[in-house]
Amino acid sequence: MELMDAINTRRAIRRIKSDPISEDALNTVLTAIQMTPSWANTQCWEVVAVRDQAVKEQLAETLPAGNPALKAMVQAPVVLVMCGKRGLAGFKKGKTTTDKGDWFMFDVGAATQNASLAAHALGLGSVVVGLFDAAKAGEIVGVPDQVSVVAFLPLGYPERVPTAPKRKDLKEFVCENHYER
C-alpha cells in the first residue's frame, strides 16, 4: 500500500474478528515499531504482545464500563500493550532537558502510529486505547516500576470499517511564520 493511501485510509477499528493473524504479520508490525525514530535513539518503547485470552480479558477489565473498544480488547487475536521506559527519552546524564519532562509519550505515540499504519497496510485493523487504569494494567502484565503502560493496540482483521471522523481543515490548525487564530 502506498504511504499516503495508508495514512488517509487508516481508521480506528473497534470491531475486530477473532481470526488469528500470522507470525509474519505480527513481526511486520513490530518491525514498524522498531524503526520509529526516537529521542537520541533511546528507543524507550517496550511491547507486551498478548495472545493469551485470560490476560486479554483481565486487561479489558481495566477499561471503563461501556468503552467502545471493550469488545476489541477481548475479541482481537493479539493486543499490543504499548509501554514506555521512563528516564531515557528527554534525559541527559539522568536529568530532563526540556519543559516536557520525560519525553516517552512522544516516542511511544510515534511508535504506535507506525504500528497502526503497518497493520493497516497488511489489511489488519487496530485502535489506540488510552483510557484505562494503567496502574492495574501494569500489574496484570507485570511491568517493573520504571516502565509505564501507555496504550493498548488490539490488532486483527476488521469486522466493520467505520467512516472517518471529521477532521479540522488545514487552515484551522496551520499558520504561517507566526501563530494566529
Question: In the range 117-136, which residues lie near its own copies by CB under 8 A?
Answer: 117-118, 120-121, 128, 130-132, 134-135
CA proximity to 81, closest of 49, 114, 113, 52 = 49
Among 75, 77, 107, 152, binds its own copies (CB under 8 A): 107
Type of residue at 22 = S
Among 21, 148, 156, 158, binds its own copies (CB under 8 A): 148
- Our finding on whether 32 is near its own copies (CB under 8 A) is yes
Residues in region 54-73 near its own copies by CB under 8 A = 55
- Our finding on whether 20 is near its own copies (CB under 8 A) is no
96-103 long-range contacts, CB within 8 A, separation 24+ = 103/39
Among 18, 19, 27, 57, binds its own copies (CB under 8 A): 27
Among 22, 93, 94, 177, binds its own copies (CB under 8 A): 177
Type of residue at 11 = R
Instruction: List all residues 6 or more positions away from 174 whose beta carbon is below 8 Å from its beta carbon.
Output: none
Backbone φ and ψ of 56, nearest 5°: -60, -40
